[in-house]
Amino acid sequence: MKLTGAEIVIECLKEQGVDTVFGYPGGTILNVYDALYKHSEEIRHILTSHEQGAAHAADGYARATGKVGVCMATSGPGATNLVTGIATAYMDSVPMVAITANVAVSLLGKDSFQEIDIAGVTMPITKHNYIVKDVDKLAETLRRAFLIAKEGRPGPVLVDITKDVTANMAEYTPEKPFSVERSIYNIKNADLEKAAELINHAKKPFIFVGGGAVISDAARELKEFVDKVQAPVGDSLMGKGAFDGTDERYCGMLGMHGTKASNLGVTQCDLLVTVGARFSDRVVGNPSSFAKHAKVVQIDVDPAEINKNIVVDASVIGDVKEVLKRLNPMINAKDHSEWIAHIEELKQKFPLKYDKDVLTGPYIMEEIYRITNGDAIITTEVGQHQMWAAQYYKYKKPHTFITSGGLGTMGYGLGASLGAKMGKPDRTVFNIAGDGCFRMNMNEIATAVRYNIPIIQVVINNHVLGMVRQWQTLFYGKRYSHTVLNDAVDFVKLAEAMGAEGILVTKKEEVAPAIERAIAAGHPVVIECQIDSDDKVFPMVPAGESIEKAFDQDDLS
């Protein structure tokens, strides 16, 4: 059948099983929005307040569901406003397709109104991108974009379509989506055997879990692996929920704001098994002293990550779930009770702790955990509140902690919470923000109200840029250069002005009632929690130092 390019876009989205799109219309993409209007019962479109919010919402949708998130924008500033969201998805390996429209082919390269080479702009931050100038190639390009976004190590793909292509006619034949096979072609028996040999001979193994284990849905295989190896488990920010945070063998996050138990465990182990993690600088600290007594085994889908940041003794390349399926039968069940007991002593000696007498970020997170029984989806912005959310909420399942890890994008979480709630409408969704982050994209509260998306926005308001201030306090002689936000902004009134419910919390005893009220509300709620400006995230490792040098308030005192 003959269809316009715009109609082909919509039909291809339907082919791929897309039920929700986040975006913002404009001149060059009007044909696509006109076609979308006729299919509003099949594809729900969420009009965000800003294109960046659309990109973050598509990202959050993808992380919560495991499906490809989709966002759309017009040319020029519409397209460039997606860039931060695309880069965020790229750094954290999130499957996303961003569809933009550009000026007509005849106007390309002429500095036309709202013309931008968005394919060129996004080349370094996409897994692949396309500019479509021929309507006959449109359907094939879109189908391939979804395949590339999903296969192997996932990531964002941009498809830029000229406006004349959206108007031109072409023959369209429906097709089934490409089947996406798990990446197994690089899994070598020799690599599995070498890894198994090192694991079977280890006396003090430690298992480090990253985001790859979440992406591949390897939680069951990972638990079987841990049960056989009988080792303590730490995770990265992106790995949370892949291994049950309530398990007695779990000892917390690793790295700059990781627990002392995890950091010392890695430093003292004789074998570090890394499952779907890339040895980020925030995890490793000083590479020369990282896991200095250990041999290192790395399991990762991306060959480029092997020996990139840390030189390893063995590696297995492939989808984490598939690798563990093959590796588990090769592992002899072990009894490392003495080593586990030593790690337990470290956990007891160096627990996470905070001032219990006043209202703090950790207390708020513990109350959210208690009231939700750990069954909520938590999204975050970036900063101190993000670390408290990672440290004090126990993530029992994958896809329940959604945060910007690699790029560290302030303003990410609110849009991501909208996407997560759209993807998982039966789950309670909290976005945890600092006052600095919330200011960046707080206009998406209006989006939540427009569609009655009942997310719960918690603003941990310390009237400063908390994490930057923490660094200024510890390393910059308390020179608080442009980090104080002590102004007259009232977030409760702002919430109410946008149509949401606002709740102010200034005391510990007000936290639980506010959370319970927000969960019961059935509409968007903003909870502003006012804490002290000098609260800090501990433990902490100075940048570039060995992770065993993690310190806390007691060490400073």
Point out the residues that are catalytic: 51, 113-114, 163, 467
The encoded tokens of residue 254 equal 């690793």
How far, in Å, are 59, 254, 267, 303, 544 from residue 284 at the CA level?
Answer: 26, 8, 11, 19, 8
- Distance, CA of 14 to CA of 231 (rounded, Å): 45
Residue 512: what are its φ and ψ, rounded to 5°? -60, -50
Closest to 539 measured CA to CA, from 553, 548, 552: 552
Residues near 102 by beta carbon (within 8 Å), at least 6 away in sequence: 28, 75, 79, 108, 115, 116, 118, 131, 160, 161, 162, 163
The DSSP symbol for 332 reads: P
Coil, strand or helix: which one is 194? helix
Which residues on neighbouring strands pair with residue 47, listed in sequence order?
23
The encoded tokens of residue 237 equal 């920010």
How far, in Å, are 79, 89, 170 from residue 116 at the CA level?
Answer: 8, 21, 26
- Distance, CA of 50 to CA of 415 (rounded, Å): 10
CA atoms within 13 A on the CB side of 390: 31
Whether residue 286 contacts residue 292, with contact meaning beta carbons closer than 8 Å, is answered with: no
Closest to 374 measured CA to CA, from 345, 397, 346: 397
- Distance, CA of 435 to CA of 458 (rounded, Å): 10
Cis geometry, peptide bond prior to residue 539 (ω within 30 degrees of 0): yes
- Distance, CA of 85 to CA of 66 (rounded, Å): 17
- Distance, CA of 233 to CA of 292 (rounded, Å): 18
- Distance, CA of 198 to CA of 297 (rounded, Å): 8
The encoded tokens of residue 8 equal 């082909």
Residue 247: what are its φ and ψ, rounded to 5°? -70, 140
According to DSSP H, which parts of 181-284 are helical? 189-201, 211-215, 219-229, 260-268, 281-284
- Distance, CA of 471 to CA of 479 (rounded, Å): 10
How far, in Å, are 354, 460, 527 from residue 513 at the CA level?
Answer: 22, 16, 11
Helix (H) or strand (E) segment spanning residue 22: strand 20-24
Helix (H) or strand (E) segment spanning residue 389: helix 384-392
Dihedral sign of CA atoms 223, 226, 227, 233 in order: negative
Whether residue 316 contacts residue 296, with contact meaning beta carbons closer than 8 Å, is answered with: no
Q: What angle do CA 361, 363, 364 make, to 5 degrees?
A: 65
